């Protein structure tokens, strides 16, 4: 199954109040194994960058000034997403910004039925625990030492590892054949590096275990030789 794990960075918290999407990072997975295919882009928000937002992700208005507008990249982004389920941490936030940008272009929103929220999954598994990406990476031993600021692609890559752990860890899917790990991309079937081993042992028919009539007769004769057997009392 193909899934896309993604994250966004923005100018603030409210897309309806004028905040804009400034970065998106997407990681493709097939059968919960990263394929190596990613989509990453910065966007010019056509507005200022509040200091509190810049402190989180480090993206300044000057850095974003020469980046493409969202509308210039929307088509290729939607093509990369395809019809796959979309996994995000606090997914309602990311879906809200993505769909707000699409609405500005008169494009169809991404169906929220495709939304997979890792915060909701973690809340069910660990009620009462801290649910931030940092806290959950610490819980599952995922290395985030290289994460000094939020970054959409880096956070999506960390989230992909966390998602696998939340869904049961690397043991899930070990019954899948390696040849199942393929993905359709640009109309072609692309092989994905598989970490799963597949048994090639020859099939052996089950052996009969029921005793034959002759064996049963010999057993009865043998048992008759016991005097005062406790099973005969």
Question: Rounded to the nearest 10 degrees, how much is the dihedral formed by the CA atoms of 91, 93, 96, 98?
Answer: -70
7 is in an annotated binding site: yes
The radius of gyration of the chain from alpha carbons, rounded to an integer in Å, stands at: 28
Residue 155 marked as a ligand binder: yes
Q: Going by C-beta distance under 8 Å and a sequence separation of 6 or more, which residues neighbour residue 200? A: none
Q: Any binding-site annotation on 134?
A: no
Q: Is 52 annotated as a binding residue?
A: yes
Catalytic residue among 40, 89, 146, 150: 150
**Residue 228 is assigned to a ligand binding site:** no
Q: Containing H/E element for 123? A: helix 118-125
Active site residue 150: yes
Catalytic residues: 150
Known binding-site residues for a divalent metal cation equal 7, 9, 155
Known binding-site residues equal 7, 9, 52, 57, 155
Known binding-site residues for substrate equal 7, 9, 52, 57, 155
């Amino acid at each position: 199954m193909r899934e896309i794990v993604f994250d966004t960075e923005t100018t603030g918290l409210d897309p309806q109040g004028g905040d804009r999407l400034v970065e998106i990072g997407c990681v493709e997975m097939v059968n919960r194994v990263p394929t190596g295919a990613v989509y990453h882009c910065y966007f010019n928000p056509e507005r200022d960058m509040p200091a509190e937002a810049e402190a989180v992700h480090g993206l300044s208005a000057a850095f974003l000034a020469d980046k493409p507008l969202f509308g210039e990249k929307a088509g290729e982004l939607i093509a990369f997403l395809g019809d796959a389920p979309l996994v995000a941490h606090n997914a309602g936030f990311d879906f809200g910004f993505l769909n707000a940008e699409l609405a500005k272009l008169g494009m169809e929103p991404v169906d929220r039925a495709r939304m997979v929220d890792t915060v909701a999954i973690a809340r069910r598994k660990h009620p009462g625990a801290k649910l931030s990406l940092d806290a959950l990476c610490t819980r599952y031993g995922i290395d985030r030492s290289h994460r000094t600021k939020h970054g959409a692609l880096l956070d999506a890559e960390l989230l992909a590892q966390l998602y696998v752990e939340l869904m049961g860890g690397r043991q899930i899917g070990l019954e899948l054949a390696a040849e199942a790990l393929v993905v359709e991309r640009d109309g072609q079937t692309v092989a994905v590096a598989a970490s799963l081993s597949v048994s090639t042992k020859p099939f052996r028919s089950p052996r009969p275990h029921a005793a034959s009539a002759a064996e049963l007769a010999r057993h009865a004769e043998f048992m008759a030789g016991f005097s005062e057997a406790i099973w005969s009392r």
